Amino acid sequence: MDSSLVMIGLTNVLSVNNIACILGGTLLGLFVGAMPGLSATMALALLLPLTFSFDPATGLSMLASLYVGASYGGSIAAILLRTPGTPSAAATVLDGFPLSQQGKAGQALGISLFASFFGGLMSGIALLTAAPLLGTLVLEFGPVELFAIAVLGITIIGSLAQGSVISGLLSGGLGLLLSTVGMDLTTGTPRMTFGQINLFAGIDFTVALIGLFSVPQALTLIENSHRGGKVASRITDRLMPRWCTIKQLMPNILRSSGIGIVVGLIPGTGGDTASWFAYNEAKRFAKDKSRFGKGEIAGVAAPEAANNAVVGGALIPTIALGIPGSSSTAILLGALMVQGILPGPNLLTDYGDVTYTLIWAVILANIALLVVGLAFTKMSVSVTRIPDGFIACAILTLCIIGAFAINNSLFDVGLMLGFGLFGYWMSKAGVSPAPMVIGLILGPVMETSFQQSMLIGNDSFGVFLESPIATVLLILALLSILQATPFFRWLRAPFKRRLKPD
């Protein structure tokens, strides 16, 4: 690390103009993130041409802060309306919305904001100090290792299937099944598309997500709108979390940020995966697991710290090797190219001044997030004072716009409504949509990397045992499955007895 380049980067960012751009970018990001269907990637792509005429530092500051803002913004709608604004906020719904129903929306949003801030800041520091070191790790992750990660992720379904294990597994299996729709990677054959070319690229996971979470929520609100007795959130006094709460959550936030950085690092997995991993680990480490899903603040802090930590994590391979860790960082890489910088491993050396500008912009954007986020969140909580009927209509409108905006396709709107009706039935039947979402996210990753691994390993399963990383991850997955079955209790019983002889 060349310290003079680091300082040049810092001074580049610290101008009135750039700080204004960071504040503006963060606000825009919050807004985009809060809207279901509008994603950071989309906003970055639309903003990119506008920054061509800017000075490199200004353009990068604006883009980076937009990315950071959007990573937090998704949680606002997730907590207040049970409609995740971005795919990576889906896990936040599980505990965020129950908190909101209990009138603690302010507390949930405050925790979410601080967790996002710490997650983002930690990943920014990792980016600044350890990028070249961590960057080389990325090359260790090929299809074989990615498959092991996906398998480990799928085991989360087991722990999310609260209440009825059968219905949880069913929901997860259905998600996996739906993820096979579309062209087969190795043969190019369309599967289960019924000759409909809009399905060739598969079911867009965001379309399914909007349908499964948001539409049932809107319908339920309409159902209950005549009953009244709504709990208005008390926000004003609670938005700033107490210091002792933060201190208590710190181990959780640190762990989740670590998960976010690592998952972000690996190309092919992003915020949507990291938040579920973090949620699952928070639950695993918690003393009282039964409170998860009913309004546990740790269940809000974990996914939010993780999905903001993904930002820095995904930027690590981008700047260390010129390999984008996510589709959003691929666009940031495009922004660098326009400044005459060819993506490659010399970003930190030859083009260090511009690259360190980007890194500092990410770090400052997290500080801006705390400031702008507090104001923005305070305003958005007033949503809970609006009558349910109006909110339901607004949610439905946003769902339709959001589903359309992803691919500019009316077909996707229909698909989203289909998922919406199915999700409504699921909520009536008491089946959680969360396992299905995990199946939809990880199914394609698992299938693709399995097919690639089989090709690389000449159709031998031994290929998974040749890679130490994959072996460890697969063993963890096995333990994770065992933990959810009675076997684990039988295995543990003798140990417990030995520890406590009675």
Residues at the site binding other proteins, with contacts judged by CB under 8 A: 31-32, 35, 38, 41-46, 48-50, 52-53, 138-144, 183, 185-190, 193, 195-198, 200-201, 267-268, 321-324, 327, 330-331, 334, 337-338, 340, 342-346, 397-398, 401, 405, 407-409, 448, 452, 455-456, 458
Q: Contact 224/389 with Cβ under 8 angstroms?
A: no
Question: What is the spatial distance between Cα 405 and Cα 466, in angstroms, rounded to a whole number?
Answer: 44
Q: What is the 3-state secondary structure (H, E, C) of 353-410?
A: HHHHHHHHHHHHHHHHHHHHHHHHHHHHHHHHHCCHHHHHHHHHHHHHHHHHHHHCCH
Element (H, E) at 190: strand 190-191
In sequence order, what DSSP letters do the residues of 33-81 get, joined into one string? Answer: HHSTT--HHHHHHHHHHHHTTS-HHHHHHHHHHHHHHHHHHHHHHHHHH
Per-position b or e across 435-456, b if 16+ CB within 10 A of its CB: bbbbbbbbbbbbbbbbbbbbee
Residue 477 beta carbon to other proteins: minimum distance, rounded to whole angstroms: 21
User: Which of 398/416 has CB closer to other proteins?
Assistant: 398
* Nearer of residues 193 and 224 to other proteins, judged by Cβ: 193
Shortest Cβ 453–other proteins spacing (Å):
9
Q: C-alpha angle 262/263/264, rounded to 5°?
A: 90
C-alpha–C-alpha distance, residues 150 and 173, integer Å: 14
The nearest distance, CB 201 to other proteins, in angstroms, is 5
What single string gives the DSSP state of each residue in 8-20?
A: HHHHHH-SHHHHH
- State which residue, 74 or 435, has the beta carbon closest to other proteins: 74
Give yes or no for a contact between 235 and 378, defined as CB atoms under 8 angstroms apart: yes
Q: Of the two residues 94 and 321, which places its CB atom closer to other proteins in the complex?
A: 321
Residue among 63 and 300 whose Cβ is closer to other proteins: 63
C-beta of 274: minimal distance to other proteins in Å?
19
First to last CA, the chain: 59
Q: Which is nearer to other proteins, 296 or 353 (CB)?
A: 353
DSSP 307: H
Minimum separation from the CB atom of position 32 to other proteins (A): 8
Inter-residue contact 49 to 394 (CB < 8 Å): no
Distance CA(271)–CA(445), nearest Å, equals 14
CB of 383 to other proteins, least distance (A): 16
Identify which of residues 47 and 300 has a Cβ nearer to other proteins in the complex: 47
Minimum distance of other proteins from residue 418's CB (angstroms): 17
The minimum distance between CB 323 and other proteins, in angstroms, equals 5
Query: At closest approach, how far in Å is the CB of 70 from other proteins?
Result: 13
Alpha helix segments (H runs only) across 189-234 = 205-209, 215-224
Rounded Cα distance, 183 and 386, in Å = 44
Nearer to other proteins, 38 or 64 (CB): 38
Residue 20 or 342: the one with the smaller Cβ distance to other proteins is 342
Least distance to other proteins from the beta carbon of 164, Å? Answer: 35
Listed residue (60, 37, 36) closest to 48, CA to CA: 60
Residues 322-336: b if buried by 16+ CB within 10 A, e if exposed: bbbbbebbbbbbebb
Q: With respect to other proteins, which residue has the nearer C-beta, 404 or 488?
A: 404
The helix/strand/coil state of 472 is: helix
